A and B are shown apart, each in its own frame.
Chain A
């Protein structure tokens, strides 16, 4: 009967429609950077922004950060693409994966920020992404 065990084993537990703290931090940092004109961001950049915004001593760990980014992309909160390789090679560095906040991600961030969850309402609706 092992195959019938819940498929969610090992996955992050959360209430339906609720952002995890790191996910909120990522959206918050990404949204604030987009207000400054940078619509896209890469992994290290967002880790640095989170650290600066929250006054943390350390950068978010690699595993924690990229696992969250992947999860958010799957949920439709973010989308990503590879950077133009010519630009990366011109600057003599590896090419980056560039992320941007989707409309659903922006709505989720706005809802979370307004504290709608305190009234028992979902902070975001996953189905809107599909």
Chain B
């Protein structure tokens, strides 16, 4: 058999290599039947040089074959989250997936206990005695909400269901510009506070930074939850969990909460949601 006649089968064997057996066998069988049908049709209709026509037909579709292969590989990764992971990442996932959620819950409890401690402190000062517990409670809620959102999103990923995303909204760029201007204002207040030593400037800068972060965080959360893309929800959920661990990191002299925070952050950043669908 001349090389040109073998080309369709040769190429199909190449680009289906490494794909699941059923996918590969179906494509090989379909191409074999198609090539055979074209040869029979060419013989019946008196078409000249059928081998060359078939080979050219294969060659023209090579780019589509490669993109199809890439989609099949992507589908394999979705179905088997650890298929591409190295041995080290597999070990890391095995170590963190069982302990990641309980550690994060412990940190949420730590935030609540810290809030109660500040609230009931005898020699506490205002407004810190009110603002502190509010912030700590919000951070505890951030961890719990992040875990729940992440768990649901990971389950969706494990089931292989990915809904189509919504188109990008026009207000995104405008919101980013406004946030940047507000942050610049806060930075200017901070600079004035440092240069003049004025406490009100520091306080105003702190409030501006905090309010901007809270508004941006809420906006990101709402946008991610309304988004059809599971990946967006997971990104925000992981950000919420990490932000919730920051107080424990700040209280590093207490050692145990800080170590738990490091373990949770390492678990979130080090492996990835698809490797921890059990959380």
Q: Which residues of A contact B (CB under 8 A)?
A: 3-4, 6-8, 10-11, 16, 42-45, 47-48, 58-67, 70, 93-97
Q: Does B124 contact A (CB under 8 A)?
A: no
Interface of B is mostly: helix
B30 A67 Cβ-Cβ under 8 A: no
Q: Return chain A residues, CB-CB under 8 Å to B59.
A: 61
State A97–B37 Cα separation when bound (angstroms).
Answer: 12
A94 B29 Cβ-Cβ under 8 A: yes
Total chain B interface residues with beta-carbon distance under 8 A: 41
Q: Return chain A residues, CB-CB under 8 Å to B67.
A: 10, 67
Subset of 14 A-B contacts with CB under 8 Å: A4-B232, A7-B162, A10-B67, A42-B34, A43-B34, A61-B58, A61-B60, A62-B8, A66-B27, A66-B31, A67-B65, A67-B67, A94-B33, A95-B29
A63 B62 Cβ-Cβ under 8 A: yes
B33 A59 Cβ-Cβ under 8 A: no
Number of A-B contacts (CB under 8 A): 96
Q: Return chain B residues, CB-CB under 8 Å to A60.
A: 57
Taking the closest CB of chain B, its distance from the CB of A10, in whole angstroms, is: 5
Q: Assess A65 versus B272: contact at CB under 8 Å? Given A10-B70, A10-B74, A93-B33.
A: no
State A8–B274 Cα separation when bound (angstroms).
Answer: 17
Q: Does B88 contact A (CB under 8 A)?
A: no
Taking the closest CB of chain A, its distance from the CB of B50, in whole angstroms, is: 11
Which B1-47 residues have C-beta < 8 A from chain A?
A: 8, 26-27, 29-34, 36-38, 40-41
B33 A61 Cβ-Cβ under 8 A: no
Taking the closest CB of chain A, its distance from the CB of B79, in whole angstroms, is: 13
Q: Assess A62 versus B29: contact at CB under 8 Å? Given A10-B71, A67-B64.
A: no
Contacting B165 at CB < 8 Å: which of A6, A45, A59?
A6
B29 A63 Cβ-Cβ under 8 A: no
B65 A62 Cβ-Cβ under 8 A: yes
B231 A3 Cβ-Cβ under 8 A: yes
Of all chain A residues, the one with the shortest Cβ separation from B59 is: A61
Q: Return chain A residues, CB-CB under 8 Å to B29.
A: 94-95, 97
State A70–B31 Cα separation when bound (angstroms).
Answer: 13
State A67–B56 Cα separation when bound (angstroms).
Answer: 17
B92-126 interface code vs A (CB 8 A; 1 in, 0 out) = 00000000000000000000000000000000000
Q: Return chain B residues, CB-CB under 8 Å to A66.
A: 27, 30-31, 61, 68
Other than the given A7-B162, A62-B34, 14 more pairs (CB < 8 A) read A3-B231, A10-B67, A11-B71, A61-B57, A63-B61, A63-B64, A63-B68, A66-B27, A66-B68, A93-B33, A93-B40, A94-B36, A96-B30, A97-B26
Q: Return chain B residues, CB-CB under 8 Å to A59.
A: 38, 53, 57
State A44–B57 Cα separation when bound (angstroms).
Answer: 11
Q: Return chain B residues, CB-CB under 8 Å to A65.
A: 61
Q: Return chain B residues, CB-CB under 8 Å to A93.
A: 33, 36-37, 40
Taking the closest CB of chain B, its distance from the CB of A76, in whole angstroms, is: 14
Q: Does B164 contact A (CB under 8 A)?
A: yes
